[in-house]
Amino acid sequence: MTIAIVCIAGVGLVAAIVLAIADKYLSVKEDPRIGMVTAALPGANCGGCGFPGCDGYARALVAGTAPNGACAAGGDACAAEIAKILGVEAAATEKRVALVKCCGTRSEAIRVGDYNGICDCNVAAMTAGGDKGCTYGCLGYGACANVCPKNAISIHDGLARVDKRLCIGCGKCVAICPKKVIELVPASATIHVLCNNPDKGPAVRKVCGVGCMGCHLCEKNSGGKEAGHFTFEGFLAKVNYANPPTDAQIVAKCPAKCMAEDAHFESGN
């Protein structure tokens, strides 16, 4: 018994001495600010800033190789705190959230095949472009929902929907979507065009009941071309998020019914 105690205590003592020496001679000097910046970041490790986790971004910030304000999840408050720690100016950031630019639910957008393969948009898109008649729209197999670090995306009626309150704007869903139907938009914008199909009106109507036909009515109703609230790509209206429209009237007047006021799905609604 005593021998055991002495042995263990001896081993412990030797180890303690080794560690003490190692601590003195082998220690790595780390900038204490890294820890402080890491603590100031949200800690979601979403990777939206382009660095490997919050710690990676903190190191880059302290090293001065990354701009302050790249953290979409933390937003302005986080940027201001980091600015205080590092003594630099905080770049003004606006919270951005993901928007699924499609409103072709199962009842509105036709499906041209029965897809019963792997439940993943990227795989479905490899199979004859997916089973949706519209080749630009949301397939609804949840590739975005699977990568979302905040569980902000859910699938409703064959369509991905983003919960604005949970979304941190990391952009992972944007990167994985095979149809490129998700876009990061300012969280303050309330009026959106929920369509991604630049084809001509008749072609869009053939595959979807709520597709944008490029009629320019939204532009006219929001003060014309000079007002600059909308841009057009082919036969698709796009909200100019640098100068977003605010008049909710235009939503009701859209003949294609592809516009929505605050399209983000709110869980609980």
Residue ranges binding other proteins (CB under 8 A) = 112-114, 116-118, 120, 122-123, 125-131, 133, 135
Neighbours of 57 (CB within 10 A): 25
Nearer to other proteins, 134 or 193 (CB): 134
Min separation Cβ 2 and other proteins, Å: 52
Min separation Cβ 127 and other proteins, Å: 6
Task: Copy the structure tokens of residue 232.
Answer: 């057009």
Nearer to other proteins, 85 or 153 (CB): 153
* 3-class SS of residue 18: helix
Min separation Cβ 208 and other proteins, Å: 15
Min separation Cβ 239 and other proteins, Å: 24
3-state secondary structure the chain: CHHHHHHHHHHHHHHHHHHHHHHHHCCCCCCHHHHHHHHHCCCCCCCCCCCCHHHHHHHHHHHCCCCCCCCCCCHHHHHHHHHHHHCCCCCCCCCEEEEECCCCCCCCECECCCCCCCCCHHHHHHCCCCCECCCCCCCCCCHHHHHCCCCCEEEECCEEEEECCCCCCCCHHHHHCCCCCEEEEECCCCEEECCCCCCCHHHHHHHECCCCCCCCHHHHHCCHHHHCCEEEECCEEEECCCCCCCCCHHHHHCCCCCEEECCCECCCC
Nearer to other proteins, 35 or 113 (CB): 113
Nearer to other proteins, 70 or 123 (CB): 123
* Rounded CA separation 67/57 (Å): 10
Min separation Cβ 120 and other proteins, Å: 7
Nearer to other proteins, 67 or 113 (CB): 113
Min separation Cβ 99 and other proteins, Å: 23
Nearer to other proteins, 59 or 179 (CB): 179
Min separation Cβ 113 and other proteins, Å: 5
Nearer to other proteins, 127 or 267 (CB): 127
* Rounded CA separation 245/167 (Å): 22
Min separation Cβ 131 and other proteins, Å: 7
Nearer to other proteins, 127 or 246 (CB): 127
What residues does 233 pair with on adjacent strands? 236
